[in-house]
């Protein structure tokens, strides 16, 4: 794979998500839009805080999850 192909692939690491990755972030929300707690998401505390901030930013930018 060239470096260009690697850049376009979706990362599976939650630390590399951006607020534009709707499909990836939707794994960490319920059907009603609530953010899943760490108990169910299986993330580390630092990853959970980052995911929460990204979801909130996505909502604020009206990219609704």
- What is the reported pLDDT for 9? 55
| Total-model pTM | 0.76
SS3 62: coil
Confidence of residue 12 (pLDDT cuts 50, 70, 90): confident
Which fold is adopted by the domain 3-60?
A: 30s Ribosomal Protein S18 (4.10.640)
Q: With contact defined as beta carbons under 8 Å apart, do 17 and 30 qualify?
A: no
Question: Which pLDDT tens digit goes with each residue over 21-60?
Answer: 888 899 999 999 899 999 999 999 999 999 999 999 999 9
Locate the domains of the chain by residue range.
3-60
Tell the burial category of 31 from Cβ atoms under 10 Å away from its Cβ (0-12, 13-18, 19+): exposed
- What is the reported pLDDT for 5? 45
């Amino acid at each position: 794979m060239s470096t260009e192909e690697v850049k376009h692939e979706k990362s599976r690491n939650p630390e590399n998500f951006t607020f534009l990755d709707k499909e990836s972030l939707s794994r960490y929300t319920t059907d009603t839009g609530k953010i899943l707690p760490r108990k169910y998401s299986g993330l580390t505390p630092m990853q959970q805080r980052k995911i929460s901030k990204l979801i909130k930013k996505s909502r604020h930018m009206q990219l609704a999850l």
